[in-house]
Amino acid sequence: MSQAWLPLATLATSLLVAPVIFALPERAWWARAVLNLAAALAKLALVVVMVVGLYQGRDFVFGFTVVEGVSFLLKVDALGMMFAGLSSLLWLATTVYAIGYLEESSNRKRFFGFFSLCVASTIGISLAGNLFTFLLFYEMLTLSTYPLVVHRGNPKALAAGTLYLRYTLTAGLVLLLGVVALHVLVGEVVFGEREVLTALAAEQSPLLIGLFLVLLLGLSVKAALVPLHGWLPRAMVAPAPVSALLHAVAVVKAGAFGIVRLVYDVYGIQLTFELGLLGVLTGLACVTILYGSLRALAQQELKPRLAFSTVSQVSYIVLGISLFGPFGTIAGMVHLMHQGLMKVTLFYCAGNYAEELGIRRIDELDGAGRRMPLTSLAFTLGALGMIGLPPVAGFISKWYLGLGAVQAGMPWVIAVLVASSLLNAAYFLPILHRLWFRPGPAHGLGQWPAERRLGRFETSDWLLWPTVATALFSLLAGLLAGLPFSPLDLATLVATEEYLP
């Protein structure tokens, strides 16, 4: 047990900030901002230390027994670190963004308190070393996001919150049943120790298949796989920073990450393949990718379109891991990071348009590129990345997905990828066209729905710079993919661990 305090401290940075924020009075604006930013920076620093330690081959483990046969375990591995790095980076950006976004609204104390809890759960999910710990933080995530979804307190938000809870709590229950069943079957399941299940596979394969499906059912609600995605577009009523984090890191990604853990670290890719379960995943992912894109095409408002785009894009991760072979793994892992960066950028932009100009519908965006050039540039980068054009990060994901499909002997997946890319282009390019090439209020035609001048530049500094930063990151992740510590490098590390024991 070397340096057990590091994962614990990482968790504590946001977990302990929450009660302090709750204790501060509502008016203590600066104290709260400083506290939030300091915690976010500290967490990022701790994660960097752990990533470096991981490369040097050190391991960080913290654990204690909860009841006999069940333990609380925090463990650092490459897969978890990818997710932890992503969430701590985006937490920093989103904290800055949220401080600006909520500048004049009420209930900020409640918002930031639950926001910290939400990030603490995400970090907990990424550091979890066994299924019990994972489940614990997975449910905590549900609870801490509910107040954020209903933050506005109007009937629409409350209805969305209820729907969200119905989906996620039921899914959590299904997951709980699956995890308990696994415990009854083989005892504690530590991530990465796959021998027990492999040993069982010979005589109990129907049972294992059934359990896998139960666990998958529990996880796929948060991952918004197709028949279970209904809550995600409705949850759009939440404030922009919440949507951004929900879609990029917290909830959706937690579900996808859970599926990754299930396939790689509980069952093991070899066993999953042998049980014939990868085909199920591929099928689900392809259906979700195409369905999400088609629904996105039909949306007239910006945020719902982005939401359905998330439904589609997250399934790339699932598709990647379902392709048997190192390239598929790399594709899935790397998209976990890339999609987060690009999607968070897009949501920041949507929030900026709504805050500065009052724009919610897509047809109101005409000529916004002239009024808000930096935001629109960031949006363009994100959108191009989503379509998969080089050199933005999304290209790397799609390239490796294609390679993975060939390696797994499923070339028809490439057809799905092409179709999806065309659909992505079909719903993003018209927006870009409106932004840059249509004349609008900025050219003296008509008026913005509700224009406010929030800052020196095109909008408030708090809102602008996180947007620009994440856009830059998604560009750099594509350009510098070959360098050490890039998402691709980490993903390759994970894939090597998985296929070369």
Query: Which 3-state string (H, E, C) describes 364-421?
Result: HCCCHHHHCHHHHHHHHHHHHHHHCCCCCHHHHHHHHHHHHHHHCCCCHHHHHHHHHH
Site for another protein in 88-107 (CB under 8 A): 106-107
Q: Does 72 bind another protein (CB under 8 A)?
A: yes
Residues 243 and 225: their CA atoms lie apart, in Å, by 18
Q: Does 153 bind another protein (CB under 8 A)?
A: yes
Q: Does 14 bind another protein (CB under 8 A)?
A: no
Q: What minimum distance in Å lies between the beta carbon of 180 and another protein?
A: 5
Stretch that binds another protein, among 66-74, 246-254, 283-291, 388-396 (CB under 8 A): 66-74
- Candidates 61, 169, 414, 419; binder of another protein (CB under 8 A) is 169
Q: Quick one: 49 or 136, whose CB is closer to another protein?
A: 136
- In 3D, which of 366, 357, 365, 361 has the Cα closest to residue 451? 357
Q: Quick one: 187 or 283, whose CB is closer to another protein?
A: 187
- Beta-bridge partner residues of 72: 64
Q: What minimum distance in Å lies between the beta carbon of 426 and another protein?
A: 38
Number of other CB atoms surrounding residue 370 within 10 Å: 16
Q: What minimum distance in Å lies between the beta carbon of 5 and another protein?
A: 17
Dig out the tokens for 35 from the structure.
């506290």
Amino acid, res. 146:
Y
Q: What minimum distance in Å lies between the beta carbon of 149 and another protein?
A: 10
Residues 437 and 10: their CA atoms lie apart, in Å, by 46
Q: Does 135 bind another protein (CB under 8 A)?
A: yes
Dig out the tokens for 172 from the structure.
């959590």
Sign of CA dihedral 451, 455, 458, 463: negative
Q: Does 175 bind another protein (CB under 8 A)?
A: no
The C-alpha angle 181, 261, 7, rounded to 5 degrees, equals: 105
Q: Quick one: 19 or 446, whose CB is closer to another protein?
A: 19
Q: Does 150 bind another protein (CB under 8 A)?
A: yes
Q: What minimum distance in Å lies between the beta carbon of 184 and another protein?
A: 5
Residues whose CB falls within 8 Å of the CB of residue 441, separated by 6 or more in sequence, listed in order: 366, 367, 371, 447, 448, 451
The number of angstroms, rounded, from the C-alpha of 250 to the middle of its chain's C-alpha atoms is: 5
Under DSSP, the state recorded for 267 is I
Dig out the tokens for 12 from the structure.
């504590």
Q: Binding pattern to another protein, positions 183-222, x when CB under 8 A? A: xx--------------------------------------
Residues 17 and 21: their CA atoms lie apart, in Å, by 6
Stretch that binds another protein, among 174-182, 241-249, 274-282, 316-324 (CB under 8 A): 174-182
Q: What minimum distance in Å lies between the beta carbon of 189 and another protein?
A: 14
By CB under 8 A, name the binding residues for another protein. 22, 64-68, 70, 72, 106-107, 109-110, 135-137, 139-140, 142-143, 146-147, 150-154, 157-158, 161-162, 165, 169-170, 172-173, 176-177, 180-181, 183-184
